[in-house]
Amino acid sequence: MRYLHVLAAFAAMPWALQPDYLRAAVQILSTRAAGLDPPETEAALTKKREAEVQRQEGAIAVIPVFGVMAQRMSAMDEMCAGGTSLDRVMSNFRAMRDDDRAKAIVMHLDTPGGSTYGVEEAHAEIIAARGIKPIIAQIDSLGASAGYWLATAADEIVVTPGGRGGSIGVYSVHEDLSVALEKAGVKHTIVVEGENKAIVNPFGPLSTAGRAQMETLVKEAAKAFRDNVAQGRNVSSKAVVDRFGDGLVFGAKAMVERGMADRIGTLQDTLGRLGMPSKKQAASAQTRATFAAGEIPTIRAVEAALGDLGLSNAQAERFVTAGYAGLTAGDPPVPAAFDDQAKAHFAALRAQLARI
């Protein structure tokens, strides 16, 4: 059986991770340890860094936090074919925090959580950066466990309409591999110096002392989790337990109602609020600039600007080609707000478009 050192480290690690994902990780680890690699694993490994690369949306830095989180995705990354390195996330964060060209930072989260290691320190660093520039956590579509822990450090949490988040809590797993090793013809002898050095190990049943040690570590990590969430959301630790579900996951609406998030919106909504125009807005802005210069824009540019006033593409085309009469003759009718503003002809609309 391969990768026993990784399995041992995995067993001893406290997790803030949704149980379904942890069970899947255990299955992947066990399968690979037995030498039964699925064919798609190697292909997936070649793309494992792709989700960790920041991108720039105009003056807004977007830092992805996708998949299972771990402080350093080394052996776990190799074994589980993907995930997010928290160290790399924070390296990107520091670079964007110190880059004057980045006017805001969006942490783009779609993660079930992961290892607790490094999350408390990352949370403190992000909290300390508040006030330098806006920091937004965009949950799209899952921000659970350690992912939600990290998100609460931001100035604001936004959840996509179909998103979910929460799962505040910590647990650890002990894997007893003794039977599997015996079937494989492998017998381990542990030689230690120190009475408690190997009280938690995967080569036999979990002892009472080992369980007590694991419980202590889990409780310490859980307290740090709750206290950090309370700090980030500006509530008491008791409120985190009472209102934030104490381990439950909630949808977007419930998260906002409970104070776990600030608003519901998509990533594009968030980028738009931070000043990143959509393609439609950019076209309209170009049309306004053309009018301001005393020039006549293209029909396509005018149609884009009319769309910002609430007209469909067909209505905009009729207006450009036939004036206001073309709108009144068409179906569906022109919106009332536009009807009040536009009047009879394309030329009369120029001043109105310049004020959009």
**Three-class DSSP category at 104:** strand
CA 254 – CA 270 distance, rounded (Å): 19
Considering the chain, what percentage of its residues have pLDDT values greater than 70?
58
Omega of the bond prior to 332 within 30 degrees of 0, cis? yes
The pLDDT-based confidence of 265 (bands split at 50, 70, 90) is very high
Average predicted confidence (pLDDT) for the chain: 74
Of residues 305 and 212, more confidence is placed in 212
Q: According to the model, what pLDDT value does residue 203 have?
A: 73
CA 195 – CA 192 distance, rounded (Å): 8
The pLDDT-based confidence of 52 (bands split at 50, 70, 90) is very low
Count of residues in the chain: 356
Q: According to the model, what pLDDT value does residue 246 have?
A: 84
Q: According to the model, what pLDDT value does residue 170 have?
A: 87
CA 99 – CA 281 distance, rounded (Å): 26
What does pTM read for this prediction? 0.65
166, with CB counted inside 10 A (0-12, 13-18, 19+), is buried
What one-letter code names the amino acid at 273? R
Dmax (CA) of the chain: 93
Which residues make Cβ contacts (< 8 Å) with residue 110, sequence separation at least 6? 64, 65, 66, 67, 139, 140, 141, 142, 143
The pLDDT-based confidence of 58 (bands split at 50, 70, 90) is low
Of the spans 33-37, 57-61, 62-66, 292-296, which averages the highest pLDDT?
A: 62-66
Is 80 within 8 Å of 45 (Cβ atoms)? no
Task: Among 109-113, 210-214, 278-282, 299-303, name the one with the lowest average pLDDT.
Answer: 278-282
CA 264 – CA 139 distance, rounded (Å): 9
Q: According to the model, what pLDDT value does residue 50 have?
A: 44
Q: Is the model's pLDDT at 91 over the cut of 70?
A: yes
Per-residue pLDDT tens digits for 314-346: 666 666 555 555 655 666 655 555 544 444 434
Domain(s) of CATH 3.90.226.10: residues in the chain: 4-273
Which residues make Cβ contacts (< 8 Å) with residue 243, sequence separation at least 6? 235, 258, 259, 260
Q: According to the model, what pLDDT value does residue 45 have?
A: 44
Of residues 270 and 174, more confidence is placed in 270
CA 20 – CA 14 distance, rounded (Å): 16
DSSP conformational letter for 50: G
Give the mean model confidence (pLDDT) for residues 46-59. Answer: 54
Q: According to the model, what pLDDT value does residue 307 have?
A: 64
Q: What is the CATH architecture of 4-273?
A: Alpha-Beta Complex (3.90)
